[in-house]
Amino acid sequence: MLKQSAFILLLLQLVCSAGQASGLEILLSKPDLQVGEQILLVCRSTKDGDFTWHKDAEEIDDEDIVSKVDPTTSKLVIKKASLSDAGTYTCAFESDDGHKSDVQSVVYVYEGPSFHGTTTYHEFLEGTDGMVPCQVTGQPAVDVHWLKDKEQVPSTPGRRVRKMPDNTLQIERVKKDDAGTYICQAQIKGRQIYQELPVSVVVNAPPTVRIREEVKKVIAGPDTNVSLLCLVDGLPKPNISWILPLDFDPSRHLFNSDHSQLTIQSVARIDLGEYICTAKNKIAESSATLTLHVFEPPEVFISEDKHRVNVGERVSVSCNVTGHPQPELHWINKQNGQELDSTGHIRVVDGMLEIEEVMPSDGGRYSCMAVGTSGNASRDVEIHTQPGPPHYLTVAPGPTSVLFTLKTFPINGGTPIRNFALQWKEKAMEKWEELMVAASDVLAITDLKPYTTYSVRMGALNDVGRGLFSTEHTVRTEGKREPESPALSTDQAVVEGNSFSVPLERTDDGGSSLLHYNVQYKQDTDESEWQSMQLPPEAKSVDLKDLAYGSGYHLEVAAVNSNGSSISATFNFTVAEQPVSSNMTKGAVVGIVMLIFLVVFLAVDATCCYRNRCGVLMAIAGKLSGWKDPGLKKVEEGDGTTNGDVTLKGIAKPRGSIQTVSKEAGQLAEVTCDKAPLTKNEKLEPTADL
């Protein structure tokens, strides 16, 4: 099957190359072949003629190897390659008009490389010297390299880890870091053909125990858990055991799978003391001690978690801390991370946070912290006030519109800005008109007069209220125009089968609402015509269906408003060839099974009709002809069954029919096999001498 696939692939390559420049060419299944694989070369010309094959200048005339596919194609097949089959193959061609040409292809045949008898596991004691051999065979010559962690091991003399001339890996004074997987890589010389053999090196070492924290402090409490980690090294892997300062409680003292970690749940004061971790393997034993100190946790209490205050008002928040030992109280401004003291606009007096004449920049989160030897704790309080005025603001005119752009958001007053109030007026004495816009939307005033001068300003709103407005800006609007070109998100375009879709993004509408999008597309051929369609202004994508498989397309999309059409956005894409499926559908399988069942049923029924006067066909025949078996009649009239036989004298009975006595006139009537009764009846004694 693989050989047929390779040949079919070559033929497909020949077909695909049709239409290219004329000439003679050889297609090779692959340049490097292993001994025993099939060699397949196909020689193809653009003209009709005769082919001859040569290997290293010697003609190949074996018909089992060389055959002509068609007047323009010849193939050479060697079913099982050997090393002697390697060389240069020449396809010589003479066309019917006398033109001669030839083309060559080099075939490389190799064997191996392979590893025979190479041990893949080695174990060394730390500090000793180790030798790891790698035995490799292959033809032609084979180069051997050792790798570890994807880096080649050098063969430089004097290196502690190096490759020896006989391809053995030598490790002097083995260290723990030398353990791991080494790769013996064998490569056919001069070719990108290689095999790799992983070899494991294990280093044995006595156990060592390290405690990350020799003294550990925890806070007692029902929700407090503490893990004591015992870091153990050594090979073979040591066994770990613990000695606890109190009786082992399986409901609170939990170990992981290798006992390297002890977890104490719901830490209490009785858990304090020394914990000894011991590691032991076949070489030695080692221990380490960890001391656990258990303290009571600090707690923080504040008067209120959240305060809403207007700009200019005063606010204060009280805080108390408890714990053992008694912790220190600190207030932190979490906006800038600074600790507050008893001076300044925002200050701490006797553990109470005080802010005189709140400003928008004072809004935010403050934290009361308890800091002590038994641990830390904190509680946050939020101060919310109105936002500040927009400062870093630019205003730009548009077609009957004004666009606001913020380089940075205003100070939010401690809570997110939800909306902006956009105000405008045409004359100084007029009342401000206002538009509320969500902070996530485009900040623009629309439906203004064209070529008109306006005074505009903007203010921010949060959950507390509206802050101060920005400074006034004077701007003159522009006239309406055609829209900008729509944006096609080409990086998100999708081709599925013969359908195409690309996201469509709306841009500047030119001051007038979009009417629709004009879409036109055509194949990239001279004779193809444009196909057109329109999309509504709210369309989010361009979707094309029923496109031609294996074709390139050119797409153009333009936005249209009452003032005209934009420049078209363009995009080129290609529809792949239609996939070919040879799988039989479930319906076809069911149909075939039913047909086979019907044929078998008719054959069995016809046999029953012919031999025993039974079956569906016999029953249908009896119904159509009105014939009824006399034996069945007697049984129905209570006459019982008969034990006689009917004898036909002097009458030739045709094959495939049965003669019976008619019920009305006592005459003989012939019933064919396709009119036999449904069931076989017993033969009756004749009522007349036949």
Helix axes 586-612, 616-625, angle to 10 degrees: 60
Helix (H) or strand (E) holding 215: strand 215-219
Helix (H, G, I), strand (E, B) or coil at 146: strand
Q: What is the 3-state secondary structure (H, E, C) of 604-639?
A: HHHHHHHHHCCCHHHHHHHHHHCCCCHHHHHHHCCC
Helix (H, G, I), strand (E, B) or coil at 413: coil
C-alpha of 235 from chain center: 40
Indicate the pairing of strand 100-115 with strand 32-34: parallel
* Cβ neighbours around 177 below 10 Å, total: 7
- pLDDT tens for each residue of 24-41: 999 988 888 889 999 999
Q: Which residue has the tokens 């304090």?
A: 272
Q: What's the CATH superfamily of 212-296? A: Immunoglobulins (2.60.40.10)
The encoded tokens of residue 490 equal 């080409």
The encoded tokens of residue 218 equal 């925890």
**The domain 487-575: what is its CATH number?**
2.60.40.10
Alpha-carbon gap, residue 21 to 159, rounded angstroms? 58
Q: What's the CATH superfamily of 2-111? A: Immunoglobulins (2.60.40.10)
Q: b/e string for 400-426 if b means 16 or more Cβ within 10 A?
A: bbbbbebeeebbbbbbebebbbbbbee
Give the fold, CATH level 3, of 393-476: Immunoglobulin-like (2.60.40)
**Residue 273: how many CA atoms within 13 Å on its side-chain side?**
13
C-alpha of 95 from chain center: 54
**What are the phi and psi torsion angles at 686 (to 5°)?**
-65, 145
Alpha-carbon gap, residue 525 to 552, rounded angstroms? 8
Query: How far from 472 is each of 438, 454, 530, CA to CA, in Å?
Result: 21, 10, 52
Alpha-carbon gap, residue 380 to 306, rounded angstroms? 9
**Low-confidence stretches of the chain (pLDDT beneath 70):** 1-22, 580-585, 625-690
Single out the residue of 326, 314, 389, 388 nearest to residue 355, CA to CA.
314
Cβ(302)–Cβ(381) below 8 Å: yes
Alpha-carbon gap, residue 495 to 386, rounded angstroms? 51
Give burial (CB, 10 Å; 0-12/13-18/19+) of 150: exposed
pLDDT of residue 428: 84
CATH code 2.60.40.10 region(s) in the chain: 2-111, 116-205, 212-296, 303-384, 393-476, 487-575
The runs of H, that is alpha helices, within 99-257 are none
The encoded tokens of residue 205 equal 């070492």
User: Is the alpha carbon torsion for 626, 632, 633, 637 positive or negative?
Assistant: negative
Cβ(617)–Cβ(609) below 8 Å: yes
Cβ(296)–Cβ(374) below 8 Å: yes
Question: What residues contact 414, with CB distance under 8 A and at least 6 apart?
Answer: 362, 363, 364, 365, 382, 383, 384, 385
Indicate the pairing of strand 253-255 with strand 261-264: antiparallel
Give the fold, CATH level 3, of 116-205: Immunoglobulin-like (2.60.40)
The encoded tokens of residue 276 equal 């000894």
**The domain 303-384: what is its CATH number?**
2.60.40.10
Alpha-carbon gap, residue 427 to 259, rounded angstroms? 82
Alpha-carbon gap, residue 683 to 365, rounded angstroms? 110
